[in-house]
Amino acid sequence: MMNEQTPGATAPLVRVEDLTVEFTGNRKASALSQVSFTLQPGEVLGLLGESGSGKSVTLRTLLRLHPERTTRIGGKIEVAGQDVLALKGRALESYRGGIASMVFQEPGLAFDPVYTIGQQITEVIRAHEAIDHGAARARALQMLERVQIPQARRRYDAYPHELSGGMRQRAMIALALACKPKLLLADEPTTALDATVQIQILLLLRELQKETGMAVIFVTHDIGAAVEIADRIAVMYAGRIVEENSVAGIVRQPRHPYTDGLLASTVDGSDRGHALSAIPGAPPNLASLPPGCSFAPRCPNASDQCRSERPPVVSLGSERLACWHPVVPLAVAA
């Protein structure tokens, strides 16, 4: 079920309806199932969940990066008025980088090791815009300075392996923003970095987002990172969005037991000396999902209905929830 649009409101930049993704290699795996969400221009949506929940698959599907021979995609994806699943050839190439761009989790693998950072950014700009090499080089240098890389002219001629992890991630952001996309897809861009650099990258992304007005989908398994950058959070489990709400709504009153478990397992300084609260079990095998709710085998609230019937996604005001037995808000419980 989609979020209803208020009459007179701005049209969504991104509209995803009943998106399904199935990988059909040696074994079939249902990676996404009926994923729906919208994203307004300038809005930041955080996708939160454990590894294997479908977050990165969602981003890669938005850019059509999965191999077509072994991937079946259903549903609808619209970005800036374009039917993404219908794009082919040059139109698809123009969409990637020009309309939507991506910051990958490991920039050391995303960059080509045999070309300098500057060469790669310049090449991307010239591929999307009819400008000469000198103008593209000037834009590339400007982007490196914009993401606060020191000695940008020197770094322009550096190879990826010559930069630190934090500098490579900043260069990856410069590459992603070089053609002024309307939508930025950030796939756990701070995971491989130390805590201090993580905070710097998060602040940089938020600053650039506000400066450019682009929309962002930010994938993370870290609730702290999601709170720092997102306006809304969608919680994913086993290829479905099981809860979506504002950041304040998710943090203060999580309704889905999975969301509640994720928040309870978050560690901070006040937890010293206490046992870590963890969600029991492990995420299901996507090649053989259980009947009913996929979270039922790990859920403290699970009933026979949960084990046999899949809960629909229901809209409750600004909140969306897929659960037969949601967590009772504290105010109600009191």
> Are 172 and 97 within 8 A, CB to CB?
no
How confident is the model at residue 332, as a pLDDT? 45
- Residues constituting the chain: 334
CA 120/CA 144 separation, integer angstroms: 12
- Phi/psi for 30 (5° steps) reads -85, 95
How confident is the model at residue 7, as a pLDDT? 47
- E strands of the chain, at which residues? 14-24, 28-39, 44-48, 71-79, 82-83, 100-103, 183-187, 215-220, 232-237, 240-246, 314-316, 319-321
Q: Is the dihedral of CA 56, 62, 65, 71 positive or negative?
A: positive
How confident is the model at residue 334, as a pLDDT? 41
- Phi/psi for 275 (5° steps) reads -70, 140
> Are 290 and 307 within 8 A, CB to CB?
yes
How confident is the model at residue 223, as a pLDDT? 87
How confident is the model at residue 273, as a pLDDT? 61
> Are 226 and 243 within 8 A, CB to CB?
no
Helices vs. strands in the chain: H and E counts, helices first: 13, 12
CA 279/CA 261 separation, integer angstroms: 6
Across the strands, what pairs with 245? 233
- Phi/psi for 75 (5° steps) reads 95, -155
> Are 184 and 98 within 8 A, CB to CB?
no
**What angle (nearest 5°) sits at the alpha carbon of residue 65, between those of residues 50 and 205?**
60
DSSP, res 190? T
CA 48/CA 39 separation, integer angstroms: 16
Residues of the chain with CATH 3.40.50.300: 14-99+182-266+283-333
Is 14-99+182-266+283-333 assigned to CATH 1.10.3720.10? Answer: no
Across the strands, what pairs with 243? 235, 321
10 is written with which tokens? 């701005």
Q: How far is CA 333 from the centre of its chain?
A: 33
How confident is the model at residue 6, as a pLDDT? 47
CA atoms within 13 A on the CB side of 61: 28
274 is written with which tokens? 């206490």
- pLDDT of the chain, 334 residues: tens digit per residue: 445 454 446 789 999 999 999 999 788 899 999 999 999 999 999 999 999 899 999 999 999 999 999 999 999 999 999 999 999 999 999 999 999 999 988 777 789 999 999 999 999 999 998 999 999 999 999 999 989 899 999 999 999 999 988 899 899 999 999 999 999 999 988 876 777 888 888 888 899 999 999 999 999 988 888 888 999 999 999 999 999 999 999 999 999 999 999 998 876 655 566 677 789 989 999 988 989 999 999 999 999 999 999 999 999 888 999 999 999 775 544 4
